[in-house]
Structures are given as structure tokens and as C-alpha cells.
Amino acid sequence: MKQLTVVSGKGGTGKTSLVASFAALSEDTVFADCDVDAADLHLILKPEIVKEEEFKALKTAELDESRCVRCGLCIENCRFDAIHEFKINPLTCEGCGVCEYICPQKAITMSEKV
């Protein structure tokens, strides 16, 4: 099994176009669009969707205000500046789990996100 990866330093150089051309010319080949920020290959190839799977990766912290006594340990220890005024910003949270570990009231739980 041979794997060919198409990369470039610069964006917009024509990776997707090149890969799509290979797809048009090849048989029995699997194409993986790894540009997960903005996957475009399917726009050219117009494939039929066979299967969609949820991808769960890092967790996000959630704070239960009913248990919170506002001691501030979570805010002090969050390296990502994700907790402000006892509200957790899910976009900034990197899912490390330090706040859950450090909270003396067990007010924070980590859960998986898609």
C-alpha cells in the first residue's frame, strides 16, 4: 500500500486541484481530505456520502453554579484564560482538566465535545 501526501507551505497553491485531478485519473484509490479547517475536495469530486461519524476529541469544562463558592482557584490555575467571572468559555477551554481537579467543591466536570 502506497500513501502519497500532497502538502505545500503556502496556501492557495493548488493542492486540492492537483489531488482532484489525480482522483479523476485513478482507479481504486482512497482520498483523504486532511484539511480539516476547510475541507474542499468534496466540492470538486461531489461524492456520495456513505457514512458520517462523529469525531469526539478533547473535553470541555462545565461549571455547576449551584456548587460553586467562588473561591477562585479555577481562575487562578487556568493557563488558558478560559474562566472569567466563574463562567467557562468553551472556545478558549483546552480541556486540560486542571480546574476539575483543583475545585474543592467538585463544581466542575469535564465532558466530551464533538
Partner 1 sequence: MIISIASGKGGTGKTTLAVNLALSDPGFKLLDCDVEEPNCHIFLDPEELGRREVTVKVPKIDDSLCDYCGRCADFCQYNALAVSQDVVMKFPELCHSCGGCALVCPKDAITEQENRVGEVVHARKGELKISYGVLDTGQAMASPVIRQLKGEVKGDTLIDAPPGTSCATIEAVKDSDFCLLVTEPTPFGLYDLKLAVKMLETIGLDHAVVVNRDGIGDNKVQRYCEKKDIPILLRLPYDPQIARLYSEGIPFTQHLHEYRSILKNLLEDVRRR
Q: Which is nearer to partner 1, 1 or 24 (CB)?
A: 24
What is the chain's alpha carbon radius of gyration, rounded to the nearest angstrom?
A: 22
Q: How far is the CB of 40 from partner 1 (least distance, A)?
A: 5
A 10 A CB-CB count for 44 gives: 14
2-41 binders of partner 1 (CB under 8 A): 9-13, 16, 36-38, 40
Who contacts 90 (Cβ-Cβ below 8 Å, separation ≥6)? 60, 113
Binding residue (CB under 8 A) for partner 1 from 79, 104, 106, 114: 79
Tell me the number of residues near partner 1 by CB under 8 A: 24
Nine-digit cell at 6? 500532497
